[in-house]
């Protein structure tokens, strides 16, 4: 009588089934292992003991025949070469006798046969062969009938011992063959039983899994398809083992959760649509605001520069017209006004250029940085010549970017290196190294340097470390450089460790173009010196 549905858990049923199958499998495996071990053992006896011993017996008999042949040939011919078969046969006898002893070690009967063979061979050699050889060497060439009969009798005894050894080996071999045949038969029977057992176990397991797992799961699938078809209120119930019942309950709980989640999703979708409409309106407002801001910046820059040009122009006219009538303070006030107007013009131009980075400077393309550096040096030509600066640069790779913006990067970094030089003439070096999928550039100089605590401040717009009386500028250059580098997918930083020995080192990265496999063309540095042309310098 089978237990009622749901009374036993699926785990308990499967465990009992696997225990029964496992016990039967273990019994069959033990029988198979025993038969296989017996088969291997008997086969080893044949291949490693009986076979080598039989071969050694035959070879031992051949070695004795070689000895007899050598003795007879030497006695008849008196030539020393005819003793070679005797000597070789003696050596072969010792070798094959040792091989046979190793093969039959542990079998007293066979070991006694080998002892008998060895004693007989020694007797034949000492009583017949050696005396004949000695007599032949002494010149006595004839042998008596008694000696020949005695030698034949001794040699027949040796051959008889070898024959007995081979016969005993044959008996043992036949016994091993019978035992091996029995073991193989047992192994075949066990294999057949194992195959039948596997088939029976497979059928039993299949029927059990179908009844306990597959059929209940098919019913759960049918119930679930009704829910998927739109019957969201249909309850999922199945009769089966406890785990299957629990699974059906979980599926039904999931149905409840999905119904609740669906209601929530519908409400969320309505709210999302409202938010999407609001975001679209805000995006349109932002785009319109950005457009108006760009127009304002352009108009404001032109409208502001016009009065500034007038202020500077009229102040210069006053200075020229009343140069003899103004005292020193009045002339100084006019100079202040002209300088302030000019600095305001530069500040407006720099702000306008900063706001345009990434928006109005054209598309990216593959550009050679050597050409970009040459354009920057050309723009700085007069500054380089006046300061007696020397610029040294490695061969630079090709990158994907905007040539106008990257020219500004080199122009700002080299210009700063020249501007903030020390007592010695400016010396600037530009290097590059590929690190994975980026190029890392460095611009080093021998100038006054930057303290480590200002490593981030120098990249903030309008942040100056020196007064305008010491160094001219608007404080936008490095901020623009950072914006350009980040616009190209790289980063820039002040190398505080590289600048510890004096001077300043800025490092920045640019991505390696993915379409090609660029590499720096040469490991030998190329140099640019005073002016924009590349020549050798003492950097």
Cα–Cα distance for residue pair 473/484, rounded to 1 Å:
19
Ranges in the chain annotated CATH 1.10.287: 237-356
pLDDT of residue 361: 52
Tell me phi and psi for residue 231, to 5 degrees: -85, 70
Count of C-beta atoms within a 10 Å radius of residue 117:
26
Task: Tell me what the pLDDT averaged over the chain comes to.
Answer: 75
Q: With a cut of 50, say whether residue 78 has pLDDT above it.
A: yes
Read off the pLDDT of each residue in 209-223 and give the average, rounded to a whole number: 75
pLDDT: which is higher, 328 or 55: 55
Q: Who's near 237: CB < 8 A, 6+ residues apart?
A: 223, 248, 252
pLDDT of residue 189: 84
pLDDT of residue 478: 79
Ranges 117-131, 241-255, 436-450: which has the least confidence: 241-255
Ranges 214-223, 271-280, 470-479, 527-536: which has the least confidence: 527-536
Domain 237-356, what fold? Helix Hairpins (1.10.287)
Read off the pLDDT of each residue in 303-309 and give the average, rounded to a whole number: 64
Read off the pLDDT of each residue in 228-250 and give the average, rounded to a whole number: 71
Give the C-alpha distances (Å, rounded to integers) separating 508 from 91, 230, 364, 489, 527.
Answer: 86, 61, 18, 11, 20
pLDDT of residue 459: 73
Enumerate the H helices of 47-144 as residue ranges.
51-77, 84-103, 108-124, 130-138
Enumerate the H helices of 237-380 as residue ranges.
242-321, 328-356, 369-379
Q: With a cut of 60, say whether residue 2 has pLDDT above it.
A: no
Read off the pLDDT of each residue in 259-272 and give the average, rounded to a whole number: 79
pLDDT of residue 441: 93
In terms of average pLDDT, the best of 156-160, 182-186, 372-376 is 372-376
pLDDT of residue 343: 58
Ranges in the chain annotated CATH 1.20.120.1730: 10-214
pLDDT: which is higher, 87 or 426: 426
pLDDT of residue 301: 60
Could you tell me whether strands 427-435 and 390-393 are parallel, antiparallel, or unpaired per DSSP bridges? parallel
Q: With a cut of 60, say whether residue 533 has pLDDT above it.
A: no
pLDDT band at 534; cut points 50, 70, 90 = very low
pTM over 0.75: no
Q: With a cut of 80, say whether residue 293 has pLDDT above it.
A: no
* Residue pair 452/327 in contact by the 8 Å Cβ criterion: no
pLDDT: which is higher, 249 or 1: 249
pLDDT: which is higher, 429 or 323: 429
CA–chain centroid gap for 181, Å, is 54
Of 413, 409, 411, the C-alpha closest to 510 is 409
pLDDT of residue 370: 92
Give the C-alpha distances (Å, rounded to integers) separating 480 from 343, 406, 412, 474.
Answer: 18, 11, 9, 11
pLDDT: which is higher, 313 or 118: 118
pLDDT of residue 528: 41
Cα–Cα distance for residue pair 273/279, rounded to 1 Å:
10
Ranges in the chain annotated CATH 3.30.565.10: 363-528
Ranges 306-315, 318-327, 336-345: which has the least confidence: 336-345
pLDDT band at 525; cut points 50, 70, 90 = very low
pLDDT of residue 431: 93
Read off the pLDDT of each residue in 328-339 and give the average, rounded to a whole number: 68
pLDDT: which is higher, 190 or 8: 190
Q: With a cut of 80, say whether residue 355 has pLDDT above it.
A: no
pLDDT of residue 467: 44
pLDDT of residue 305: 61
pLDDT: which is higher, 138 or 358: 138
* Residue pair 63/96 in contact by the 8 Å Cβ criterion: yes
The conformation of residue 426, written as its DSSP 8-state character, comes to P
Dihedral, CA of residue 311, residue 313, residue 315 and residue 319, to nearest 10? 180
Query: Which CATH class, in words, describes the domain spanning 10-214?
Result: mainly alpha
pLDDT band at 344; cut points 50, 70, 90 = low
Cα–Cα distance for residue pair 476/324, rounded to 1 Å:
39
Count of C-beta atoms within a 10 Å radius of residue 115:
13
Read off the pLDDT of each residue in 320-340 and give the average, rounded to a whole number: 68
Task: Render pLDDT for 388-446 as a digit per residue (tens, 0 to 9).
Answer: 888 999 999 999 988 888 888 898 888 888 887 777 888 899 999 998 889 999 998 88
pLDDT: which is higher, 53 or 466: 53
pLDDT of residue 1: 38
Of 169, 152, 157, 153, the C-alpha closest to 58 is 169
In terms of average pLDDT, the best of 37-46, 178-187, 484-493 is 484-493
* Residue pair 363/513 in contact by the 8 Å Cβ criterion: no
Domain 363-528, what fold? Heat Shock Protein 90 (3.30.565)
pLDDT of residue 290: 64
Q: With a cut of 70, say whether residue 507 has pLDDT above it.
A: yes
Coil, helix or strand at residue 4: coil
pLDDT of residue 531: 37
Give the C-alpha distances (Å, rounded to integers) separating 62 from 96, 147, 344, 354, 377.
Answer: 10, 23, 121, 108, 101
pLDDT: which is higher, 102 or 241: 102
């Amino acid at each position: 009588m089978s237990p009622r549905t749901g009374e036993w858990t699926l785990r308990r049923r499967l465990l009992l089934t696997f225990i029964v199958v496992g016990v039967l499998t273990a019994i069959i495996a033990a029988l198979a292992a025993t038969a296989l071990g017996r088969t291997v053992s008997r086969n080893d006896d044949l291949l490693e003991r009986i076979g080598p011993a039989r071969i050694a017996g035959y070879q031992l008999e051949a070695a004795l025949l070689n000895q007899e042949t050598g003795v007879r040939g030497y006695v008849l011919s008196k030539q020393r070469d005819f003793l070679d078969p005797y000597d070789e046969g003696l050596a072969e006898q010792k070798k094959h006798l040792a091989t046979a002893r190793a093969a039959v070690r542990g079998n007293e009967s066979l070991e006694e046969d080998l002892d008998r063979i060895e004693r007989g061979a020694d007797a034949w050699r000492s009583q017949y062969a050696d005396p004949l050889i000695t007599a032949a060497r002494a010149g006595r060439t004839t042998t008596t009938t008694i000696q020949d009969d005695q030698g034949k009798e001794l040699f027949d005894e040796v051959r008889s011992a070898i024959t007995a050894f081979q016969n005993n080996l044959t008996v043992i071999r036949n016994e091993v063959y019978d035992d091996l045949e029995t073991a193989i038969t047992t192994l075949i029977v066990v294999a057949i039983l194992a195959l039948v057992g596997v088939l029976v176990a497979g059928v039993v397991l299949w029927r059990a899994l179908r009844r306990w797992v597959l059929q209940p799961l098919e019913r759960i699938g049918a119930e679930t398809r009704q829910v998927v078809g739109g019957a969201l209120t249909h309850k999922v119930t199945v009769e089966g083992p406890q785990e299957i019942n629990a699974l059906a309950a979980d599926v039904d709980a999931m149905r409840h959760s999905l119904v609740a989640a669906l209601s929530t999703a519908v409400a969320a979708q309505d709210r999302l649509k409202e938010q999407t409409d609001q975001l679209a309106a805000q995006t349109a407002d932002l785009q319109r605001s950005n457009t108006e801001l760009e127009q304002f910046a352009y108009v404001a820059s032109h409208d502001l520069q016009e009065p500034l040009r007038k202020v500077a122009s009229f102040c210069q006219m006053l200075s020229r017209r009343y140069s003899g009538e103004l005292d020193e303070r009045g002339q100084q006030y006019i100079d202040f006004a002209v300088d302030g107007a000019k600095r305001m013009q530069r500040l407006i131009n720099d702000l306008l250029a900063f706001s345009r980075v990434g928006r109005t400077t054209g598309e990216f393309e593959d550009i050679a940085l050597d050409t970009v550096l040459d354009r920057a040096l050309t723009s700085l030509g007069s500054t380089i010549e006046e300061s007696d600066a020397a610029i040294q640069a490695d061969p630079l790779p090709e990158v994907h970017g905007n040539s106008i913006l990257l020219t500004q990067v080199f122009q700002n970094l080299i210009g700063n290196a020249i501007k903030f030089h020390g007592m010695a003439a400016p010396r600037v070096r530009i290097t590059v190294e590929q690190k994975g999928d980026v190029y890392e550039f460095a611009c080093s100089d021998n100038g006054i340097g930057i303290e480590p605590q200002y490593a981030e401040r120098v990249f903030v717009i309008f942040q100056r470390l020196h007064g305008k009386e010491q160094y001219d500028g608007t404080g936008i250059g490095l901020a623009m450089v950072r914006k350009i580098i980040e616009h190209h997918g790289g980063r820039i930083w002040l190398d505080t460790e590289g600048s510890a020995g004096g001077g300043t080192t800025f490092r920045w990265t640019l991505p390696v173009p993915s379409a090609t496999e660029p590499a720096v063309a040469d490991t030998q540095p190329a140099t640019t010196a005073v002016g924009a042309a590349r020549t050798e310098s003492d950097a």
